[in-house]
């Protein structure tokens, strides 16, 4: 988990830094910097919460339920109308659009 957090936070920070069209770019980077400065275990930024409470995903049904929930967060927040429109979401990859990071897609549910 620690390595995943380190890899993704570094990659996302770089993606945000290099995306000058993102209207919340400075705000996002500022929030990451502030969180990092307030935690002595970080060098200069923090994206993920320090603690974690992993949830077992024992079935494909539960895995897809959680994935759908995550993909719909930006829609629920009113940022976008469709999950695939949010640039920083892996939903883009599932709808055939290029994402910012390379991901491994979860196998589709068999009906």
d(CA 74, CA 56): 24
Start-to-end Cα distance in the chain? 31
Nearest in space to 71 (alpha carbons), one of 48, 87, 55: 87
Tens of pLDDT along the chain (111 residues)?
566 666 677 788 888 888 888 888 888 888 888 877 777 776 677 776 666 677 788 998 999 999 999 999 999 999 999 999 999 999 999 999 998 888 999 887 666
């Amino acid at each position: 988990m620690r390595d995943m957090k380190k890899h993704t936070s570094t990659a996302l920070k770089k993606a945000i830094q290099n995306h000058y069209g993102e209207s919340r770019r400075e705000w996002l980077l500022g929030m990451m910097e502030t969180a990092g400065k307030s935690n002595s275990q970080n060098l200069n930024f923090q994206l993920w919460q320090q603690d974690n409470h992993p949830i077992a995903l024992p079935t494909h049904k539960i895995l897809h339920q959680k994935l759908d929930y995550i993909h719909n967060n930006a829609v629920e927040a009113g940022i976008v109308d469709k999950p695939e429109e949010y640039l920083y979401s892996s939903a883009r990859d599932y709808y055939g659009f290029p994402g910012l990071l390379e991901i491994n897609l979860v196998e589709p549910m068999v009906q």
